[in-house]
């Protein structure tokens, strides 16, 4: 990665310049059997479209807060990088009542109605499918995003020293929770702080360009979202992001590790 990168969006741009065809996020949901693999180029295209939706569809301005009521998922990763591209604060699992906008998954739609701003719903269904009908009070992300532009340019340059991410500090090391967890005080990081922390985590985990990190950690902590996205991105590696990993037998997990050429692991086993 480029030593001058100071925001998550910078990290993605460097990855795109280095090797757009390599895998960046490989996602498994072991409750549904879903597998999705996104190259750097495909992921960046989703990010650009989503950033345009944030900037033009939601009319969100830098410094506004978007509550992401979403689990560890490839579309959540897209939203985190799209928020970083526009200068809005991604509040992962944040209070929708205190947010300017909310993006909610299918199991948190009622909670998200507390937000008085723009609301987008994600079905999180395989292949990014839309809802049969938009949930009441929401626009369907899968309906809105395809028409957005494939290139993105912010109206205002993103300030690397402005807040970029709010995420709970506690609960490190948990796998995907089976029940709602108690809210915790979030840590708020600027883009520059996030990048430095991700680089530090990458060094601690021994990640290098080409590393493949398998993560089954929930994204209810910095530890989880760093392992599941930011540290591999900062290292020039990739992530095998697994939801409901505890449903795999040891034999099935070993087969996945071999087939996906995993070099490092971040799970509770």
Q: How far apart are CA 195 and CA 221, in angstroms?
A: 16
pLDDT at site 185: 57
When mean pLDDT is compared across 54-68, 174-188, 227-241, the lowest value belongs to 174-188
Q: How does residue 127 score in pLDDT terms, banded at 50, 70 and 90? A: confident
Half-sphere exposure (Cβ direction) of 39: Cα atoms closer than 13 Å: 9
pLDDT at site 174: 42
* Predicted confidence (pLDDT) at residue 169 exceeds the cutoff of 80: no
The per-residue pLDDT of the chain, averaged, comes to: 93
Q: How far apart are CA 121 and CA 209, in angstroms?
A: 35
Instruction: Tell the residue number behind the tokens 């089976």, with chain if given.
Output: 178
pLDDT at site 175: 44
176, 268 in Cβ contact below 8 A? no
Domains defined along the chain, listed by start? 8-147+160-266 (3.40.50.12780)
Indicate the pTM of the whole model. 0.93
Instruction: Tell the residue number behind the tokens 């760093």, with chain if given.
Output: 226
* Predicted confidence (pLDDT) at residue 183 exceeds the cutoff of 60: no
Nearest by Cα to 213 from 230, 189, 195, 200: 230
What is the C-alpha end-to-end distance of the chain, expressed in Å?
A: 30
268, 175 in Cβ contact below 8 A? yes
pLDDT at site 268: 54
When mean pLDDT is compared across 23-37, 76-90, 165-179, 215-229, the lowest value belongs to 165-179
């Amino acid at each position: 990665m480029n030593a001058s990168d100071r925001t998550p969006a910078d990290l993605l741009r460097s990855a795109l310049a280095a090797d757009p065809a390599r895998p960046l996020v490989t996602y498994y949901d072991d409750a549904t059997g879903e597998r999705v693999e996104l190259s750097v180029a495909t992921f960046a295209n989703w990010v650009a479209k989503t950033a345009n939706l944030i900037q033009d569809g939601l009319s969100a301005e830098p410094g506004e807060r978007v509550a992401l009521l979403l689990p560890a998922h490839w579309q959540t990763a897209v939203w985190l990088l799209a928020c970083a591209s526009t200068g809005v604060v991604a509040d992962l699992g944040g209070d929708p009542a205190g947010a300017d906008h909310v993006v909610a998954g299918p199991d948190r739609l009622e909670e998200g109605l507390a937000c008085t701003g723009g609301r987008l719903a994600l079905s999180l269904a395989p292949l990014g499918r839309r809802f049969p009908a938009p949930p009441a009070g929401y626009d369907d992300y899968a309906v809105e995003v395809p028409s957005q532009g494939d290139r993105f340019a912010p109206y205002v340059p993103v300030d690397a020293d402005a807040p970029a991410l709010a995420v709970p500090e506690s609960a490190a090391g948990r796998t995907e929770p089976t029940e709602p967890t108690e809210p915790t005080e979030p840590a708020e990081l600027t883009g520059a702080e996030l990048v430095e922390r991700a680089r530090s985590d990458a060094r601690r985990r021994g990640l290098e360009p080409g590393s493949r990190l398998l993560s089954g950690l929930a994204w209810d902590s910095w530890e989880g979202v760093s392992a599941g996205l930011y540290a591999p991105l900062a290292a020039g590696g990739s992530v095998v992001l697994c939801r409901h990993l505890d449903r795999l037998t040891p034999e099935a997990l070993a087969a996945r590790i071999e087939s996906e050429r995993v070099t490092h692991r971040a799970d509770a086993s």
